[in-house]
Each structure stands twice: as C-alpha cells, then as structure tokens.
Amino acid sequence: MIGIIDSGIGGKGIEAEVRKLLPGVKIHYLADKKNFPYGTKPVKLLRKILSENIETMIKKGSKVIVLACNSATVSSVKYLRKKYPNIKIIGVVPAIKPAGKRTKTKNIAIFATPITSKSAYQQELIDKYFKGVKVYKIPFKNLAQIIENHQNPTLEVGLVWSKYMNKNIDTIVLGCTHYTLIKPEIQKIVGENIKLIDSNCAVARQVKKVYNSLRKGNDGLE
C-alpha cells in the first residue's frame, strides 16, 4: 500500500496523479487537519507530528510513503529517512530545476509557505540550479489556510503579487501542494504569459518507480 501524508487537502493533486499511473493500487491518504498547517510550525514539532503519522501509515501496511507537502519535505525528509530506513519515503520539493531551464528573463518567483521559503533545503536547490537567475522567494502565511477552507484566494494572491508584478518574472514555482489546487486562479492573476510549474507529476512518476521496484523484489506490496 502507498501512504500519502499532508496537513489537509493539498496532497490530493499528487494522489490524483499517482492513481493515474498506478490504477488499482491501494492508497491511504492521511489529511492531518488537526495539525494544519505544517508550513508555519517549528521544525522540531513538525518532525514529531510527521513521525507519528508515518508510524500510523506503517501500521496500516504502507511501505511507500509520500510526504505530499513541501514544508514537511524540506524540513524533515532527511531526518525521517534516517529514522525509518526500511520505509521508502518520497518527498516533494519546489520544482526549481525545470524552472531554471525554462526561464528566459532569468527572473523567477517561488510561491511557498514561510517554512519552505526560509529553508536551507530550498536554498541548496536555488544555489545548484539557478545560476545567474534572480530569485524572488515569496512566502504566503495564510494562503494554504484559505485554500483548505475553500475560500476565495484572489485577494491574498493579488495583494502579494502586486509587489512583484513589475519584476520581469516569467516563471513561478508553486512550492506548496495546496497552491497547485488553485493553479487556474493563480494563472489568471499573474497573467497567461507567466509559466506556473509544480512537482505533482514528477512526484507521481517517482512513486511509480519506487513502488514497481519494490514489487519486483516481492516485498509484499498490494
């Protein structure tokens, strides 16, 4: 079985892509609403929460677990992989590499939560793939909550974007899985000429690769 963990509905986009690639495979989605949001929590507390959720998934039979949350991944995936060496833990990180290849103006924005925006993990990716590129790290404190509550995100996104709309940005990385759920709304606000990039499909492909590898090894996967 495949387990998918997020603090709410954000990981549903990844779940949909995984189901396309692995139809019929059992998937357990854990929407950890009681600890929502992950993106504003101290790292030590978040690791404790994620450890508890992973242990729940293990008890349910998951041998492949997706941290369907950029904040959880950039803050904790290395720690969790070391703590649970017998479980394949797949994370989600901002799609920085493809954005670096795509930009023509060499001006890129990353929409993310506060914890992702200031993480060393994201900065490592920026340093590696954004040579000669101006990067605008744009944190949204409340956007995930707005999306989770099915509220209109237009005002929040519009107010923040108004500070950057004249920066010649041609590519925006959606560095939070919640944000991918409102991709059309974001596109309308920033304009059709700006490319929005997320990690959903890439993560699903990695899940399929890992799952099939374990299945070939007769690892008891369903």
For residue 37, say if its preceding peptide bond is cis, omega within 30 degrees of 0: yes
- Dihedral of CA atoms 107, 112, 115, 120 in degrees, nearest 10, equals -30
Distance separating alpha carbons of residues 155 and 135, to the nearest angstrom = 23
Catalytic annotation present for 201: no
Q: How far apart are the first and last CA of the chain?
A: 5
CB 47, CB 79: distance < 8 Å: yes
Which among 54, 57, 176, 182 is annotated as catalytic?
176
Which among 22, 30, 67, 69 is annotated as catalytic?
69
Distance separating alpha carbons of residues 7 and 195, to the nearest angstrom = 27
Query: What is the set of active-site residues?
Result: 69, 176
